[in-house]
Amino acid sequence: MARLFEYQSKELLKKQNIPVPSGKVCQTPKQASDAAREINKPVAIKAQTWFTGRAAVGGIGFAENPEEASGIAKNILGKTIRNFTVGEVLVEEKLSIKDEMFASITIDDLERAPVLLFSLKGGSGIEKIARDYPESIIKYTIDINSGLRDFEALNLLRKFDIEGKILLQVSRLLVNLVKVALAYEARSVEINPIAVTEEGKVFAADCRITVDDYAVFRHPDLGITYARELDAPPTPLDKLAYSIEKDDYRGTFYFIQLEKNFKKNERYLGFHGAGGGGSMMSMDAIQRRGYKLANFCDTSGNPPASKVYRAAKIILSQKGIDGYFGSGSGVASQEQIHSARGLVKAFLEENLNIPAVIRLGGNMEEKAVEILQNYTKGVPAPVEGYTKDDSADYCAERMDELLKEYKPLKDNKKPEVGLKKVDYEFETVTGSVKFQYDLCMKCSSKICIESCEPNILKLENGAPVLAVSVADAKKGKCTECLGCELECRMHGENGCYVDLPVEDFA
């Protein structure tokens, strides 16, 4: 789920006429000082993070004047809180709070609808408040067609003894909060606290909004470039992986970098799973042997070989990993030869210099293991393939043994990839297929034609050409199975290359 920062969430509230304290987001102490001077009142300086409980860990401070605001901002900016490095602070008017309330809207899977929670008690420790004072909470299922109407909000709030002027303001806030949640397809919206000031005014003092990943593309105005649920901003590799996934609907590619600072006394593995449950079981198996995971990656839902290839390239770009461990559910319905080919192409291009253990359980698993092991014999490091009959624990054991035995080459050079010249090429969904005809004419097997699973290649004057239109190949007739390149490499004259660009992240 894509999370918004507090200041972003408040902008959406303001658009829907929900009162928020006046303030500005700042990246430097000077900006914080200028903002405090402009507000011309005591201010709160709040670290912009994706989690709550900031006050308890030094993420919120209060200042009486611009000089104090600058000093507090200096202490907060750049501070790492729960693995989150603070890059911005929100400087806003300090409210004179008399009472605090709580409101949230979440998607309830049982109700199959948004559900409003409102509590007369809010602030820090709302979970404990809900447990200790259940009578202070109301729950109401929202009709997505009609939203929350004024009379419905008033009827809900009349359960509590709320002063009339405050009652009307809170009622209007709840009605508009539902409008925000529905307009932006939020998985959750939370205001904590709803602040009632000494002057009798109601404000959204703090707010969190999380937008459904699959709705992000419908809301470009939000500026969300990474629709994944994280507890810290995405790394460059996270962003690169997401850019690949969001533009390629075939199968699923999920990548999260877990380690940014590799420690010399620890051993890290690049992890490549397929299927959530099996991946977690496999991660447990490797961690029980004392290894740490540099990343989590999942390619499932029958992805093309090209997507698996890019996933492997991204995993291998992590300079601190000692091994490559791939293991998923073991009973996946996807075609495992596609995964094997994607891995092989990446391993060959990187001249794999770390041990790899890959468990490929599912359709055509025996053929997949054969491709994986036979086609990677030229790389320096050992590559072992296993099927569903081999447990994740056994594969983890083999990974441990290989890591203890293998010593990586100190000077490992990647081979040159591609062709010296291109005589014929066509575009695919995410890349292109290229041929060098002087090599093709030497080839007696013409294996590229036979290995083309979608049957879109044919021979013309002894050389491979498209048997479908260029437009059809680009639209998806070419499934990017990588069969033509790898079979040509192993059984032909190496005159075929599938170019699948991946951003240079070296």
78: number of Cβ within 10 Å: 9
Per the CB < 8 A criterion, the answer to whether 478 and 456 are in contact is yes
Residues 179 and 216 in one domain: yes
> pLDDT of 61-86, one tens digit each?
999 999 999 999 999 999 887 778 89
End-to-end Cα spacing for the chain: 29
Percent of the chain with pLDDT strictly greater than 70: 97
Residues 389 and 305 in one domain: yes
**Chain mean position to CA 4:** 14
CATH of the domain at 430: 3.30.70
Region 399-421 average pLDDT: 94
Residues 246 and 388 in one domain: yes
Residue 160 lies in a domain: yes
What is the total count of domains within the chain? 4
| pLDDT score recorded for residue 247 | 83
> pLDDT of 344-397, one tens digit each?
999 999 999 999 999 998 889 999 999 999 999 999 999 999 999 999 999 999
Contacts 24+ apart (CB under 8 A), 407-414: 408/353, 408/354, 408/380, 408/381, 409/353, 409/380, 412/351, 412/353, 412/380, 413/351, 414/349, 414/350, 414/351
- Phi, psi at 465, each rounded to 5°: -140, 170
Alpha carbon distance 84, 213 (integer Å): 21
Dihedral Cα 403, 405, 408, 410, nearest 10 deg? 140
Residue 417 lies in a domain: no
Amino acid type, 325: F
Residues 168 and 287 in one domain: no
> pLDDT of 36-55, one tens digit each?
999 999 999 999 998 877 88
Residues 101 and 152 in one domain: yes
Local structure of 85: helix, strand or coil:
strand
Residue ending a domain, among 76, 93, 110, is: 93
Residues 43 and 77 in one domain: yes
- Per DSSP, 147 falls in state B
Per the CB < 8 A criterion, the answer to whether 108 and 141 are in contact is yes
Per the CB < 8 A criterion, the answer to whether 6 and 207 are in contact is yes
Residues 207 and 266 in one domain: no
Which residue range is the domain that position 47 belongs to? 22-93
Confidence of residue 124 (pLDDT cuts 50, 70, 90): low
